[in-house]
């Protein structure tokens, strides 16, 4: 008789659960099949989720759970979804009680501590981490909260619109790589998925008690700003390294040319940006954070930097980082630009223009920069070039 624990993906915990529902050998699991076994498990243990179904299928097929074909995963996902129904008398209600059918629904609830507290408490219980009442952090796209010494990020469910799994997998992979490369970033404490009213992916990192770099820079002394820029350059040198195969590549050129955010700009500027993007050399490609804003760099009491939120990381030329650094982190302040740019300021400005033409949010950066300073909107890249060069005087 084949022991359950000798099968692929089946550990002691899963073996005990299967035995409790009458599946006590590899032969009995194979005879019943992954779907039927999962249905029995779900009836007894409501917390089992889609990943457990993948594990069972892998056990039956002698495969690691993450080696299943995409078509088979879709079939298993459909079966798992079919088991979800209205809560019956005596059953537990979902931990997350809000309704999310579109992006607007998610936007209404994703910052709500009250809505996410029961779900977060269960996540921490499963991960064996101490739970503390949630406090809100700077909002982004996902639900992000502090819980004592930890930060939990709960990704939007697919019902909101896009599939959250690529974002989750990218960020988890990049977090691991940053630690290997010596980039200062909060340690990843846990990652996973929880099946509730919806499928929620999550990441838990250590909390870093720092101030957001944006407001910190606004009040920093010249000496503090110089030290900050020096650390930022050192951080970029460690971060922007080759990482082929770490995360799926993005077609940066196609995204830039077809970017709907271009519609926020005058027609002539839109066309210039698209044409400039088409002529860019995108090699060599390195790992970039892609969103180095004043919210995603933290400064501690000693002035040391830490990088957070890698959701927009991608493989791109290193100059891609310049767009958010110049327009969002530095807010185009001349003193910071002079510290960062080096001697060849004209070449630096051209690289910044390359970056905004390629960056996913570059159009919004060019839209917002003159508005922030009470200037007329840019009508061309020449306007943006003059604006930046003027900052160096």
Single out the residue of 315, 303, 310 nearest to residue 244, CA to CA.
315
Instruction: Please enumerate in sequence order all residues whose Cβ is within 8 A of that of 229, keeping only pairs 6 or more positions apart, or say none.
Output: 336, 339, 340
Mean pLDDT of 273-299: 96
Q: 306 - beta bridge partners?
A: 298
pLDDT category of residue 139 using cuts at 50, 70 and 90: confident
pLDDT digits (tens, 9 = 90+) for 346-361: 999 999 999 999 999 9
Q: 1.20.1050.90, 3.50.50.60, 1.10.150.20, 3.30.430.20: which CATH number matches 4-82? A: 1.10.150.20
Q: 3.30.420.40, 3.40.50.2000, 3.20.20.150, 3.90.1200.10: which CATH number matches 211-391? A: 3.90.1200.10
The rounded mean pLDDT for the chain is 92
* pLDDT recorded at residue 33: 85
Mean pLDDT of 295-309: 94
The answer on pLDDT for 44 being more than 90 is no
Structure tokens at 178: 């940053």
pLDDT digits (tens, 9 = 90+) for 197-221: 899 999 999 999 999 999 999 999 9
* Domain 103-206 classification at class level: alpha beta
Domain coordinates in residue numbering, the chain: 4-82, 103-206, 211-391
* pLDDT recorded at residue 218: 94
* pLDDT recorded at residue 90: 53
The answer on pLDDT for 236 being more than 50 is yes
If you count them, how many residues does the chain have?
Answer: 393
Structure tokens at 87: 């809560």
* pLDDT recorded at residue 84: 64
The answer on pLDDT for 86 being more than 50 is no
pLDDT digits (tens, 9 = 90+) for 316-340: 999 999 999 999 999 999 999 999 9
CA distance 25 to 5: 9
pLDDT-above-70 percentage for the chain: 98
Kindly list the distances between the CA atom of residue 170 and the CA atoms of 92, 157, 250, 311, in Å, as whole numbers in the listed order.
33, 16, 12, 7
CA distance 175 to 4: 34
Q: Assess contact for 307 and 296: CB atoms under 8 A.
A: yes
Q: Assess contact for 277 and 357: CB atoms under 8 A.
A: yes
CA distance 91 to 24: 26
pLDDT category of residue 160 using cuts at 50, 70 and 90: very high
* pLDDT recorded at residue 311: 87
Instruction: Please enumerate in sequence order all residues whose Cβ is within 8 A of that of 108, keeping only pairs 6 or more positions apart, or say none.
Output: 98
Average the pLDDT over each of 92-101, 250-259, 267-276 and give the range with the smallest value. Answer: 92-101
pLDDT category of residue 6 using cuts at 50, 70 and 90: very high
**Pairing of β 199-206 and β 188-195:** antiparallel
Q: Assess contact for 349 and 317: CB atoms under 8 A.
A: no
The model's pTM is: 0.73
Element (H, E) at 267: helix 267-278
* pLDDT recorded at residue 87: 44
């Amino acid at each position: 008789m084949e022991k359950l624990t000798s099968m692929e993906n089946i550990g002691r915990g899963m073996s005990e659960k299967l035995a409790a529902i009458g599946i006590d050998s590899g032969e009995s699991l194979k005879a019943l099949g992954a779907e039927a076994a999962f249905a029995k498990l779900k009836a007894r243990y409501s917390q089992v989720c889609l990943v457990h179904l993948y594990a069972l299928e892998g056990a039956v097929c002698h495969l690691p759970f993450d080696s299943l074909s995409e078509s088979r995963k879709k079939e298993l996902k459909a079966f798992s979804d079919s088991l979800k129904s209205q809560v019956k008398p005596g059953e537990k209600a979902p931990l997350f009680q809000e309704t999310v059918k579109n992006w607007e629904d998610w936007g209404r609830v994703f910052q709500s501590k009250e809505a996410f507290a029961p779900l977060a408490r269960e996540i921490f219980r499963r991960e064996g981490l101490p739970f503390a009442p949630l406090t809100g952090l700077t909002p982004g796209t996902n639900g992000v909260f502090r819980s004592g010494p930890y930060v939990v990020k709960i990704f939007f469910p697919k019902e909101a619109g896009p599939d959250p799994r690529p974002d989750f997998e990218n960020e988890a992979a990049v977090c691991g790589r940053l630690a290997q490369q010596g980039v200062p970033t909060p340690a990843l404490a846990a990652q996973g998925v929880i099946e509730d009213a919806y499928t929620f992916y999550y990441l838990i990192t250590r909390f870093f008690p720092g101030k957001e770099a944006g407001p910190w820079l606004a009040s920093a002394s010249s000496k503090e700003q110089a030290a900050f820029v020096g650390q930022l350059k050192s951080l970029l040198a460690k971060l922007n390294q080759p990482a082929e195969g770490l995360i799926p590549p993005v077609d940066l050129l196609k995204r830039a040319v077809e970017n709907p955010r271009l519609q926020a700009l005058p027609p002539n500027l839109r066309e210039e940006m698209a044409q400039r993007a088409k002529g860019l050399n995108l090699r060599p490609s390195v790992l970039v954070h892609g969103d180095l804003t004043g919210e995603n760099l933290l400064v501690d009491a000693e002035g040391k930097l830490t990088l957070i939120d890698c959701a927009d990381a991608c493989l791109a030329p290193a100059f891609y980082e310049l767009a958010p650094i110049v327009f969002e982190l530095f807010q185009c302040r001349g003193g910071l630009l002079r510290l960062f740019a080096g001697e060849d300021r004209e070449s630096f400005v051209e690289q910044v223009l390359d970056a905004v033409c390629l960056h996913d949010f570059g159009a919004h950066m060019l839209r917002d920069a003159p508005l922030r300073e009470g200037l007329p909107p840019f009508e061309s890249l020449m306007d943006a070039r003059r604006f930046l060069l003027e900052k160096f005087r």
